[in-house]
Structure 1
């Protein structure tokens, strides 16, 4: 009998499994293995500090972000007093799983099938090595199995209706610094020919780079759009190492538990930031609060304590998610709006507050006049009272 079975071995599930194992719980970490999620691979300094990520996991430290508009005008934003850490999900996720196992979690390789209930709750899975269906009896289940979570779909009301974009990227061999590519700079491309409702990206990964895009619009040819992005970035001839695609959720579910013995975490709960699509930090926080809620339920015997996961997460991050959702709704509707958004990014107040918020994962309240100036400029752009401008 396990105390908790964690379904899914990405950053969220591995974090939950490690936290619970370190607290003395008997934990099984069920992961189907062999899958690498498409991801730009950016992590903020706060994640590195909060989750004790060693420097060996960083393949690059980025000092500049370049925003590129539909008319190909660029705004370079220096990352003052910090950096964006870059990781490779192929190695980073496995590092987290290994760390969870060292903490005491039992790693099991297989594919989740369903949750059965009789005298006890049991997770059924198909063992990867034998192909046999096996059972993991448990008191609680954490569903951390991605945006199209089978655990969420079968157990949590609304778990089958989560909105998402489809992300696709190609990992390529880095050409080194060129006229159009800088291994110390992340490029974010707001261009309707690449993505009609989201953005494209070129993110360095040391000796490699991630080039991709996301969209929620049906019928968009993801590979064709990524090929166009590679041409525009001078990366068309670079060796392609691998190609990956997956859904990325963009709205937290209204409910994360089934009121009995299941709680969701990470993409399964919808905790990817709107506008930016950032997910690794929020996934790991989601895993941590799910572990906290599970531990509280095991201690108290009250299934209602599973609600702590969503409460704890939203207490700290709800405002940031709301602001980012408003930004996406306001500026991602058309190329004309995207042009104005990139123009607004040229403002020094926007630059400083954006990256302070990114690095610290909270809205910066120490500069009220800067917030006021940004609000006025934002309204001016949305009402077309000023033309898009660039320095």
Structure 2
């Protein structure tokens, strides 16, 4: 059998691409390494829930407040107006998406990608079958690489795919005791503290009966497990039972190219689509899977390999500016504890809170309040130049 598309990776990106292509009538195979769970806070915005038809039973918690914590332990609580942020547990959410792709008609296979070869018969994807341990081969017309931040497909097939920068994220899923100490099951805590992460942040995110406690860093000598242990102590969760521990790379920047100009297109973490500053990845991964499926379908219909470029073009058309703004914010405020202190102070501003969450919930930069943008710009400049105190709102 020659598949229209072979999807390598069954996370949110790969599963979305496989489902979209299968629903549009294409023959699809999806190869996934079963059992791998990516470390992730698990937050998904309302737009993801709506655009990708996520049922309510997949939400393990509904968050109504976000708390920013500065290096000096100052706390800023930001209410989530007119809605909530949904929380999912990747162990179950990813499996739900893979099952849905299979129900749509994708052939689901369990194994580890090894290589791509080509001959007159087509493009061949080699993988090692998990159950039998032997190598198997699939033949297809298009390959979608959705195999994570250190993508083997990207490394082998796409220019620049072996040079993507990333942070290492680590978290522990623990049993959640309900409200205690500084922990509350209806609130996400984001900790901006160089003693936890010198270049990123730590988090404590409720998952209903469990919670995700973790952090990320690009600095190689940071002890991720020690920093996470400190987070648990600070939140009063150090004595909670640990359910599982996970670590993985998270990309920092979208690749300049997502296709090989022939028969491969990348999606999700493999293409580098994690939002700067926030590290948000689930929504952008699923959008990445959708645009990869759109590009693959266009290429299959037209026979023009340049149509594979549509994936990156469609994604950047809608999200480039958001990534640019978030990248500038990370570069400005994550460099030192003094800058992180100023960032948390800036979050006191009601306009900052509203515009930030409107952008997060709807995935668009809000343009309806120009005076608010001017006010925020002035405050931002004042903090970056040190005109105002780091502890003044």
Same fold (TM over 0.5): yes
TM-score, length of structure 1 as denominator length:
0.99
2:3 corresponds to: 2
Task: After TM superposition, list the pairs within 5 Å mapping 1:254-269 onto structure 2.
Answer: 254-269=256-271
Deviating more after overlay: 313-322 vs 80-89 = 80-89
Q: Are 1:75 and 1:390, in contact at CA under 8 Å, matched by a contact in 2?
A: no
Q: Deviations over 1:101-136 (max 9, x none)?
A: 000000000100000001111000011111111100
Q: Are 2:341 and 2:391, in contact at CA under 8 Å, matched by a contact in 1?
A: no
Unaligned stretches of 5+ residues in structure 1: none
Q: Deviations over 1:47-71 (max 9, x none)?
A: 0000000000000000000000000
* Counterpart-to-counterpart distance in 2, 1:325 and 1:336: 19
2:206 corresponds to: 204
- Per the TM alignment, residue 250 of structure 1 is displaced from its structure 2 partner at its CA by 1.1
2:385 corresponds to: 383
* Counterpart-to-counterpart distance in 2, 1:254 and 1:41: 27
Task: After TM superposition, list the pairs within 5 Å mapping 1:92-241 onto structure 2.
Answer: 92-119=93-120, 120-241=122-243
* Counterpart-to-counterpart distance in 2, 1:308 and 1:369: 36
- Per the TM alignment, residue 390 of structure 1 is displaced from its structure 2 partner at its CA by 5.5
- Per the TM alignment, residue 388 of structure 1 is displaced from its structure 2 partner at its CA by 2.0
Q: Are 1:68 and 1:188, in contact at CA under 8 Å, matched by a contact in 2?
A: yes
Cα RMSD for the two superposed structures = 0.6
Q: Are 1:293 and 1:309, in contact at CA under 8 Å, matched by a contact in 2?
A: yes
Q: Are 2:181 and 2:235, in contact at CA under 8 Å, matched by a contact in 1?
A: no
- Per the TM alignment, residue 218 of structure 1 is displaced from its structure 2 partner at its CA by 1.0
Q: Are 1:65 and 1:186, in contact at CA under 8 Å, matched by a contact in 2?
A: yes
- Per the TM alignment, residue 208 of structure 1 is displaced from its structure 2 partner at its CA by 0.2
Q: Are 1:157 and 1:258, in contact at CA under 8 Å, matched by a contact in 2?
A: yes
Answer yes or no: is 1:369 the counterpart of 2:367.
Answer: no
Q: Deviations over 1:153-184 (max 9, x none)?
A: 00000000001000000000001011311000
Task: After TM superposition, list the pairs within 5 Å mapping 1:208-357 onto structure 2.
Answer: 208-357=210-359
* Counterpart-to-counterpart distance in 1, 2:265 and 2:366: 31
Q: Are 1:253 and 1:270, in contact at CA under 8 Å, matched by a contact in 2?
A: yes
* Counterpart-to-counterpart distance in 1, 2:219 and 2:125: 35
Q: Deviations over 1:72-102 (max 9, x none)?
A: 0000000011211000000000000000000
Q: Are 1:146 and 1:268, in contact at CA under 8 Å, matched by a contact in 2?
A: yes
Q: Deviations over 1:6-42 (max 9, x none)?
A: 0000000000000000000000000011100000000
Q: Are 1:59 and 1:88, in contact at CA under 8 Å, matched by a contact in 2?
A: yes
Paired residue secondary structure (1:241): strand
* Counterpart-to-counterpart distance in 2, 1:196 and 1:247: 16
Answer yes or no: is 1:23 the counterpart of 2:24.
Answer: yes
Q: Are 2:338 and 2:390, in contact at CA under 8 Å, matched by a contact in 1?
A: no
* Counterpart-to-counterpart distance in 2, 1:192 and 1:264: 34
* Counterpart-to-counterpart distance in 2, 1:3 and 1:178: 53
Unaligned stretches of 5+ residues in structure 2: none
Q: Deviations over 1:321-352 (max 9, x none)?
A: 00000000000000000000000000000000
1:360 corresponds to: 362
* Counterpart-to-counterpart distance in 2, 1:343 and 1:175: 30
Q: Deviations over 1:349-389 (max 9, x none)?
A: 00000000000000000000000000000000000000023
Q: Deviations over 1:179-223 (max 9, x none)?
A: 311000000000000000000000000000000000000111100
